[in-house]
Amino acid sequence: MKIAIVQQNYHIGNFEHNRNKIVEAIEKAKSDQADLVLFSELCVCGYPPRDFLEFDDFIAKCYESIELIKAHSNGIGVIIGSPQRNFLPEGKDLFNSAVFLYDQQIIGVANKSLLPTYDVFDEYRYFEPSNEWKVIEFKGERIALTICEDIWNLTENPLYRVSPMELLIRENPTLLINVTASPFDYDHDDDRKEIILANIQKYHIPIIYCNTVGAQTEIIFDGGSLVFDRSGKLCKELKYFEEDYYLAVTESITDAPADEANKYEFVDERVARLKESNKVLTYLTTDKNISQIYNALILGIRDYFTKMGFSKATLGASGGIDSAVVQALAVAALGKENVHVLLMPSQYSSGHSIADAEQLTQNLGNTADVLAIKDIYDQYISTLQPVFDHLPFSIAEENLQSRIRGNLLMAFANKFDYILLNTSNKSELAVGYGTLYGDMTGGLSILGDLYKTQVFALAKFINRGDNVIPENILTKAPSAELREGQKDTDALPEYNVLDRVLYEYIERRKGPKDIIGLGFETALVNRVLKLVNTAEYKRNQFCPILRVSRKAFGVGRRMPIVGKYLA
């Protein structure tokens, strides 16, 4: 049997767009004489639809799309993902389903059993888990049709009491198909191969894994659909961060011997690196990770603009590493003609910062304006003087400069229909080193899930073919330049230390004793963790962050604002 694997980029709630893509791929599969064509989880409506699922009209449009797609299933099997109604009074009103179409009929439906409710996932909020498990017979194959999480319960500490494959394997399936919407992080492609291999080792069955691609606000899907034969050999890996199509032949993957010696050998370097804290930064900044992050961010920016109906971006160019990287990414994603930056020097801005920002803009070829803020700042100070009452210069005066810049950027964005890109990094957001309504302003955060050390590595990656980002930006000490001679290290530990502590706390969820046990100073750890927890109110007001790690700020990390833990 020939099976077409279709890896596509969908738009949440854009039913006609999604449907047209699906139908076009069905017709291509027909022309390739495919017997079956696969699409990804909830492809009909886009993933994750979130509270759109609470609208009857939204569900009705899903059913309408299924009917229209079904009309194209003459002579070919089609598996699509869509919500389906649960007609039993007990439980949630919807299933997350894979619908099997053939000859303009629905010949089978597989409902998702394991509903993730962690990190960015919230599926049990909307869906009822499956209550039956049956293989679907089609053209000589007995297909175990599963959806995403359904194959992920083979860990040492399983999240679920029931594993769907334990029930499906009793019906002697010959092929496991998994349709999924599996988000990107810079470890996850390895995780997928590990879990697929674990299923093959346990059930001795070939697996076809069809993933979606594209960005949905902060969540990025990287594709990388997979075909493994029953011996554990990786037969095909589809493109990452791009749409793709592949025609698999079941005979080549089901006839392979289930021989232990032939199994796919997977080497996970993370384990060794993460056992030692001093290797964490090496791991986070490896060429593989940074290359993936670059491609993910480009896709995230491009899809956010396309799906929101915008084309142009602006940002504040400070001459610092963060804004330089965001500017370079924006030009790569949107084109130099669609990026305009504002240089907004104050009396505390160094001459080299202005020169560096101008040189970067020249190198990238985008446009820029210089709007000096000294006069505006002086007017603010004059206006506030009666209430400031000659008190010494403090963070209040520093933040005024940042807020002036934020206002100018938003005014420019509003006037010319631009989206303002935020340039804060994860290290700064973690410890609250940013100004609400100032440098924390923006419509989309590009670097909010990258530690400062990763930002430097990303800058070097951008410069790999040509020194687009001036060398001085890469080598000078980071500074907000809000007062004379200011450096980030006046308020924060060195980033190569800070980022290691933050990673242990945020990504690995280690407590203070465990982190201190890795060799960090007690006072430093206590101070950093307190900064993280007390800055939650700032992050709660922040814009969406493109997610590239296992634990990003935003929907995947939900903390109380008024909590006292470690604060």
Residue type, 266: F
Q: For residue 491, what pLDDT is reported? A: 83
Q: Is the pLDDT of residue 427 over 60?
A: yes
- Whether residue 342 is predicted with pLDDT greater than 70 in this model: the reply is yes
Q: How far is CA 143 from CA 207, 227, 470, 527, in A?
A: 10, 15, 56, 55
The arithmetic mean of pLDDT across residues 115-143, rounded, is 96
Query: To 10 degrees, the CA torsion angle through 513, 519, 522, 524?
Result: -120
| pLDDT value, residue 560 | 95
Is the confidence at residue 261, as pLDDT, over 50?
Answer: no
* Structure tokens that stand for 331 in this block: 């030009």
C-alpha torsion sign, points 372, 376, 377, 382: positive
Summarize pLDDT for 512-543 with one digit per residue, the tens. Answer: 999 999 999 999 999 999 999 999 999 999 99
Which pLDDT tens digit goes with each residue over 209-244?
A: 999 999 999 999 999 999 999 999 999 999 999 999
For the annotated catalytic residues, the residue numbers are 41, 112, 148
Residue 320 has pLDDT above 80, yes or no: yes
* pLDDT value at 364 more than 50: yes
Contact in structure between 124 and 87 (CB atoms under 8 Å): no
Mean pLDDT of 434-439: 96
- For the ranges 364-368, 446-450, 473-477, 510-514, the lowest mean pLDDT is seen at 473-477
Residues making up the binding site for L-glutamine: 118, 182
Enumerate residues 6+ apart whose C-beta is below 8 A from 56: none
The rounded Cα 335 to chain-centroid distance in angstroms is 22
Question: Alpha carbon of 173 to those of 249, 260, 297: distances in Å?
Answer: 17, 20, 39
d(CA 559, CA 35): 48
Q: What tokens appear for 102 in the block?
A: 């053939």
In degrees, rounded to 5, the angle at the alpha carbon of residue 166 between the alpha carbons of residues 162 and 170 is 140
Is the pLDDT reported for residue 299 higher than 80?
yes
Give every strand in the sheet of 226-228, ordered side by side. Answer: 136-138, 141-147, 175-180, 207-211, 226-228, 234-237
3-class secondary-structure state, position 194: helix
Please say if the pLDDT value at position 273 is more than 70.
no
Pair type for strands 136-138 and 141-147? antiparallel
According to the model, what pLDDT value does residue 480 have? 72
Question: Does residue 272 register a pLDDT over 90?
Answer: no
**Nearest CA to 218 among 503, 538, 556, 506?**
556
- Per-residue pLDDT, 25: 98
Tokens of 352: 């080299």
- Decide if pLDDT at 501 tops 80: yes
Q: Rg of the chain's alpha carbons, rounded to an integer?
A: 26
Please state whether beta strands 234-237 and 226-228 pair in parallel, antiparallel, or not at all (unpaired): antiparallel
CA 178, CA 146: separation in Å to the nearest integer? 5
Mean pLDDT of 154-173: 93
Q: Is residue 486 a contact partner of residue 350, using CB atoms and an 8 Å limit?
A: no
Residue 18 φ/ψ, nearest 5 degrees: -65, -45
- The proportion of the chain whose per-residue pLDDT surpasses 90, expressed as a percent, equals 86
DSSP string, 299-359: HHHHHHHHHHT---EEEE--SSHHHHHHHHHHHHHH-GGGEEEEE---TT--HHHHHHHHH
Task: Give me the pLDDT at residue 277, please.
Answer: 64
- Read off the pLDDT of each residue in 125-151 and give the average, rounded to a whole number: 97
Give the pLDDT score at 264. Answer: 55
pLDDT computed for residue 274 by the predictor: 54
For residue 450 the two structure tokens come to 């990258």
The mean pLDDT of the chain is: 94
Residue 350's pLDDT is 75
Residue 258, pLDDT score? 60
348 pLDDT higher than 50: yes
For residue 21, pLDDT over 80 is answered with yes
**Cβ atoms < 10 Å from Cβ of 512:** 18
User: Domains plus CATH for the chain?
Assistant: 2-268 (3.60.110.10), 287-488 (3.40.50.620)
The mean pLDDT value for 4-10 works out to 98
Residues 6+ apart with CB under 8 A from 190: 266, 268, 270
Closest alpha carbon to 40 in 121, 174, 145, 138: 145
Q: Which residues lie below 8 Å from residue 314, measured CB to CB, with a gap of 6+?
A: 339, 340, 341, 342, 409, 412, 413, 416, 418, 419, 420, 421
Query: Of 471, 530, 466, which is closest to residue 502 (Cα–Cα)?
Result: 530
Predicted local distance difference test score (pLDDT) of residue 269:
52
The token pair at 235 is: 């037969």
- CA angle 306/310/314 to nearest 5° reads 120
Position 259 pLDDT exceeds 60: no
Question: Residue 410 pLDDT > 70, yes or no?
Answer: yes
